[in-house]
Structure 1
């Protein structure tokens, strides 16, 4: 999907965005305003109008994208969203005439750059992380691994049933208290410092070194089972981490887009007020 929208229809929208940027740069180089270049010249208003129109259209895409009927149409609009959004870096910068200050106009420009930056991260995330997730699972599905964890829990309980009560308690805690995911921070970290399975593995391995002869075989088998479960848990926590990284950017991109829209409206109203 990510490769499809980036190269959609022979890079159609990359060519459109490049054309817009080249024309904007040529006009900026040709124009010689009475004062310094700024957003208040005829070129500044023209570039500002184009930039504002693009921003509104890009946000409209965000609201409409779930209603597109076919993948091809979605890819086309997404390609336009990416490349025309990136063109705002040139168009909006030339609109400002490189005049910045502590004002609403610069705030709108700064928000726009942050929104574009978060969009670039989103492109990278959707291009890179699905591949990493497949490699992480070694071509197994997440459901397969969860089923294997459940089977390992069953085997651990069975092996521990003939072992001392302390071992049984550790195994039961491993089965009932192990968590995958959790808070946003926990998901993004991909770890669980209080993992009940890791705790059980460390303790059982220590106990196995001095276990009674009649328990030795089962203790070693239990250590092996817990080690396998710990490996599966690391795999699934990495899976959750990558999914969280794929989604977290939207929690910045979307709210910041609305903040940008508000700043843009304020910017336009202030321009007309002082005109």
Structure 2
């Protein structure tokens, strides 16, 4: 009986390699190409700073100071272009992932370039202001990279439970459904208890300050206060069969859990976006301070 020959192993094509490479993180894109380039440049610049004889004062006016300043200024402008570049997703040598990897690691390299350019001479002037703004931009960018590397997993984990995944819209719909059930369950209650439930029903899950959202702490949460007060009242009342407070308490417990889940979702989303409210405005402030620094050096130094 003839046997069927085993199929030959599939040859890895360029398209296959490209699909596999899309799963590679941008921080280690191309086997950490930009990490290696940035580390090598940083080491070379530090060595050059240590061995080349340079004036002890006004280092920025030396040939090395001007070189570092020019490279740093051009690099800042080039890295700022990522905001425009990220809107065009293309494959190849300068794909979005390659550009982002270069943006991150050359941004870290700017710490070395900018600090060496200053000659470690800091004071209350526009030059130090430009350096400080540069550091704020870089540190906020590092925070953003950390957020994007860790928080999406937490966001995904918060969306899943025993019944599967749930979206933000479904969380809001679940809260509205619980509110309708609470409203019906609260009909037999006395005015005092009904008023407490009413406060929970009037609560908007999206209210609160930016700090409330980022910390996930809501000190004056109407649902939590209503649940706590109703439980206190129940403890001082005689137990009866089919007590409507039992049903209301169960519904409030479910609402507290869903509200906490939605707020975790909003907190994680908030941190994924919050760093940009520092990074982007400080980038424009840096460019303005950098322009003032260049003008003052060439015309008033």
Question: Same fold, TM exceeding 0.5?
Answer: yes
> How far is the alpha carbon of 1:43 from its aligned partner?
0.9
Instruction: Give the match for residue 25 of structure 1.
Output: 46
Instruction: Give the match for residue 187 of structure 2.
Output: 161
Contact 1:179 1:195 in 2 (8 A): no
After superposition, the Cα gap between the structure-2 partners of 1:224 and 1:253, relative to the gap in structure 1 and judged at 3 Å, is: same
Distance 2:67 2:239 in 1: 86
Distance 2:122 2:217 in 1: 43
Distance 1:20 1:232 in 2: 51
What residue ranges of structure 1 are gaps of 5+ in the alignment? none
Instruction: Give the match for residue 296 of structure 2.
Output: 270
Alignment of 1:2-81 (within 5 A): 4-36=25-57, 38-69=59-90, 73-81=95-103
> How far is the alpha carbon of 1:54 from its aligned partner?
0.5
Instruction: Give the match for residue 17 of structure 2.
Output: none
TM-score in terms of structure 2 length: 0.82
> How far is the alpha carbon of 1:257 from its aligned partner?
0.9
Instruction: Give the match for residue 207 of structure 1.
Output: 233
Describe the superposition over 1:48-82 as per-residue Cα deviations: whole angstroms up to 9, x where unpaired: 11111101111122233223446982211111110
Distance 1:76 1:260 in 2: 24
After superposition, the Cα gap between the structure-2 partners of 1:162 and 1:51, relative to the gap in structure 1 and judged at 3 Å, is: same
Instruction: Give the match for residue 106 of structure 1.
Output: 128
TM-score in terms of structure 1 length: 0.89
Alignment partner of 1:193 is 2:219: yes
After superposition, the Cα gap between the structure-2 partners of 1:171 and 1:274, relative to the gap in structure 1 and judged at 3 Å, is: closer
Q: How many residues align?
A: 275
Query: More helix by proportion, 1 or 2?
Result: 1
Alignment partner of 1:91 is 2:117: no
Contact 2:85 2:96 in 1 (8 A): no
Alpha-carbon RMSD? 2.5
Instruction: Give the match for residue 270 of structure 2.
Output: 244
Describe the superposition over 1:59-111 as per-residue Cα deviations: whole angstroms up to 9, x where unpaired: 12223322344698221111111000000111111112222222211111111
Instruction: Give the match for residue 146 of structure 1.
Output: 172
Describe the superposition over 1:94-140 as per-residue Cα deviations: whole angstroms up to 9, x where unpaired: 11222222221111111111111111111111122222223334453
- Single out whichever of 188-197 and 110-119 deviates more from structure 2: 188-197
Runs of 4+ in 1 over 4 A off after TM superposition: 34-37, 69-72, 210-216
Distance 1:218 1:73 in 2: 61
Alignment partner of 1:234 is 2:260: yes
Contact 1:21 1:90 in 2 (8 A): yes
For the residue of structure 2 that corresponds to 1:67, the secondary structure is coil
- Single out whichever of 265-274 and 68-77 deviates more from structure 2: 68-77
Distance 1:178 1:199 in 2: 14
What residue ranges of structure 2 are gaps of 5+ in the alignment? 1-21
Alignment partner of 1:256 is 2:282: yes
Distance 1:255 1:243 in 2: 20
Instruction: Give the match for residue 15 of structure 2.
Output: none
For the residue of structure 2 that corresponds to 1:58, the secondary structure is helix
Instruction: Give the match for residue 179 of structure 1.
Output: 205
> How far is the alpha carbon of 1:201 from its aligned partner?
1.0
